[in-house]
Every structure is written in C-alpha cells, then in structure tokens.
Amino acid sequence: MNIKPVALVSGANKGIGLQIAKELASKGFKVLVGTRKLDLGVVAARSVGAEAEAIQLDVTDHASIAAAARQIEDTLGRLDVLVNNAGISRPIQPGTPIEEMRDADKVSRVSVADMRVVFETNVFGVVAVTQAMLPLLRRAPAGRIVNISSAGGSLALKGNPSEYSRQYVGVYQTSKTALNAVTQAFAIELEETNIKVNAACPGFTATDLSNYAPGAGSVEDAAREPVRLALLDANGPTGTFSNADGPLPW
C-alpha cells in the first residue's frame, strides 16, 4: 500500500515538468509522470525515481483525463499535489528560430485556429485536469495545485512602457494571462478548503518550448518556484503569482 504523498505533474516526460517530477520524488512523493505518449513517460519515470510511474495524460482529451483520474482513484485513492505544467507556445515546426516564432505568434497574424490550439492546452486543459482531479485533491490532508504560468502573461507588467515583457505580446502570453485568471478563480473558490492554488513563472528556460534559445536558463532553476509552491505548509498563501525572486504582479 502506498503511504507517500502523491504528486501528478502534467507534461513531465521532458523539460521543466520532468525536473519538477524529479525534485518532488526526492522530497518523498510518489510521483505520477503525466505524459501524452506513454512510452516516453515510462522512460522519463525511470529517471525520476524508483517509485515514479508514468500515467497517460493528454490535457486536451477528456477520455484521457477521465481515465487518469480513475486510475489514480483506483490505485492510490488521493492526490496531494497537482502541477499543471503541460504547455505549448504555438503549433511550430521544430527548429524555428525564436524571433520567427515570436513574430508569427502576434495576435495580428496568428490564425484563430492556432490560437484555439494554444488555449486548448494552456487554459482549457488546466481547467479540465483540475476539475477531474479535485475530488482526489479534496481527499488529501493538504492539497496543492501549482499552475505553470509565465511573467509574459502579466497584464500589470505590460502596463509599464519600459518593461522588457512588452516585446512578448503573442498568443502564448494571452493564454498565460487567461491561465492566471483561472488560477485566481480556483484559489478564491477553494479558499475555505485545505487546497491552495498558486501560479509560478519558471523563467526563460532552455527546453524544446524555447528551442533552447541563447540566454535561456536551466531546468533546475526553473523548477525551484513550482516545487516551493507544491510544498507550502498550512500557513502558506493561496491565489499568488510568483517566480524564484518573489511575487509577480498579475
């Protein structure tokens, strides 16, 4: 019988999610490595820890989400930590330079179909997975939900004309603004429960999503704030947005 706290990380077969999974395993969690392709998740889970397990989870597929929730219910009975990490920038060809990605991502150019694809994963996927996992999180003594957002989604930062993030005003950023709103809404709704809901920006990080752009940081640095939020004690906050340097403005 499992007696460890249980953590599910979506999109944990690579990148920041994989690093978050490794760190939660090292903190004593039974980690479920969410992965849309099970074979990739099985390989990733081996690098996470002896007790880590891959779980098929496509955050845009209701059947996949429902099956994952059922599997956790049947085998573990509860969920202590949910990290909504799975995310995409936009449908891109591998190897596209970041400048080109940023340009094609602009709301004046992007097709609404591409925009829907991004929102399906980054926003509706988080809502759907969170809804499905809530009954399991309610059974944990101290449920924690961490949504992986981006400072690029901050409306307040973009209000400052000298702000660097004003360069980033594409579909991806608008999806993270919506994710922030979703984070706050869940946090307010769950404020009288033991579940805390927070959003973290991992920072610009060298992964497939950023095409390993020059200047991008390490996954170890990126995982720091999400892991801190996953481990908050009962006195910790809910409904916050932060990075490793501290609070970020919504």
Ligand X SMILES: NC(=O)c1ccc[n+]([C@@H]2O[C@H](COP(=O)([O-])OP(=O)(O)OC[C@H]3O[C@@H](n4cnc5c(N)ncnc54)[C@H](OP(=O)(O)O)[C@@H]3O)[C@@H](O)[C@H]2O)c1
In the complex, the residues that contact ligand X under the rule CB under 6 A are 10-11, 13-17, 36-37, 57-60, 85-88, 121, 125, 148, 150, 201-202, 204-205, 207-210, 216
The active-site residue out of 158, 168, 172, 196 is: 172
Q: Least separation, in Å, of the C-beta of 234 and ligand X? A: 27
14 is catalytic: no
Assign 8 to helix, strand or coil. strand
CB crowding 15-41: b at 16 or more within 10 Å, else e: bbbbbbbbbbbeeebbbbbbbbeeeeb
From the list 22, 30, 158, 176, the catalytic residue is: 176
Shortest Å, Cβ 174 to ligand X: 12
Q: E strand or H helix at 24, and its extent? A: helix 15-26
Residues forming a β-bridge with 145: 82, 197
Which residue lies nearer to ligand X by CB, 191 or 208? Answer: 208
Contacting residues for 175 by C-beta, under 8 A, at least 6 apart: 118, 119, 122, 123, 153
CA 179 to chain CA centroid, nearest Å = 10
127 versus 142: smaller Cβ distance to ligand X: 127
Question: Pairing mode, if any, of strands 246-247 and 6-9?
Answer: unpaired
Active site residue 168: no
Residue closer to ligand X by CB (options 114, 141) is: 114
User: Rounded to the nearest whole angstrom, what is the least distance from the CB of residue 240 to ligand X in the complex?
Assistant: 16
Q: Please state, in angstroms and rounded to a whole number, the distance separating the CA atoms of residues 144 and 64.
A: 22
CB of 50 to ligand X, least distance (A): 21
Instruction: Select 141 or 215, whichever has its Cβ closest to ligand X.
Output: 215
Taking the complex as a whole, how short is the minimal distance between the CB of residue 87 and ligand X, in angstroms?
2
Nearer to ligand X, 77 or 155 (CB): 155
Of 77 and 97, which has the nearer Cβ to ligand X?
Answer: 97
Quote the least distance from Cβ 175 to ligand X, whole Å. Answer: 8
- Buried b / exposed e over 189-220, threshold 16 CB at 10 Å, is ebeeeebbbbbbbbbbbbbebbbeeeebeebe
Helix 219-230 and helix 15-26: axis angle, to 10°? 50
Instruction: Give me the helices (H) in 108-240, please.
Output: 112-119, 125-138, 155-158, 171-189, 219-230
The rounded Cα 50 to chain-centroid distance in angstroms is 23
Catalytic residues, by residue number, are 172, 176
